Amino acid sequence: MVSTHMSDLVPISALQHFVYCPRQCALIHVAQVWNENLHTQKGRREHARVDEPASEQRDGIRIERALPVWSERLDIIGKCDVVEFHPDGTVYPVEYKHGPRRKGLHDDVQLCAQALCLEEMLEVTIAEGAIFHVSSRRRRVVKLDDALRKETQGVIAAVRAMLDSGQIPMAEHGKQCECCSLRNACLPDAGQVKDIGLFEPLEDNACISF
């Protein structure tokens, strides 16, 4: 059971959103705006298998799915899609992503944050984890080196500051906008959109909150 205090921790999913686009992160986690598009629908379908808590044993490896993780010290809380517990004591987090194999810092930061929680909760050191790309069914190994750990802690601080301020950053149009589910709400091509009130008239059936 998550305490009231823990429910105030920064969601690890917000870190991924922030690295992808700070404005997207604020729209979702400050303004509670969420639009579905083909990418999010596909992602949700492909994610279904790891969204339900489950435990299994395979080739001597215990596999936990949808494992809750948190760190009050680091101010974060979330859920690991998969954590493998190997016979030699290795703890190995695996994050599922829809689409083909691709490198993305936003995915790496999310995985690193999960690993940092696991390290603290289980008193272990985790050298690497992996992103499993569902469409191509390939793993991309992510080394949890000092640079990624530092980057992740910087993102945590930035997201905490943004959530506390309640501010929505201005739109900065870029390549990331092409598959952003919030494109219609954000209007990145419309110039400097400043007022979050612009997003409030979204129809109920056009967005979901979480």
Q: Do residues 84 and 118 make contact, with C-beta atoms less than 8 angstroms apart?
A: no
Least distance to ligand SF4 from the beta carbon of 65, Å? 29
> DSSP assignment, residue 51?
H
Among 50, 77, 109, 186, binds ligand SF4 (CB under 6 A): 186
**24 counts as binding ligand SF4 under rule CB under 6 A:** yes
Q: Do residues 133 and 140 make contact, with C-beta atoms less than 8 angstroms apart?
A: yes
**23 counts as binding ligand SF4 under rule CB under 6 A:** yes
Whose Cβ is closer to ligand SF4: residue 55's or residue 184's? 184
Whose Cβ is closer to ligand SF4: residue 24's or residue 114's? 24
Closest CA to 207 of 185, 178, 188, 180: 185
Distance between CA atoms of residues 156 and 164, nearest Å:
12
Among 9, 15, 19, 21, binds ligand SF4 (CB under 6 A): 21
Distance between CA atoms of residues 183 and 173, nearest Å:
10
Residues that bind ligand SF4 (CB under 6 A): 21, 23-24, 27, 171-172, 176-177, 180, 182-183, 186, 188
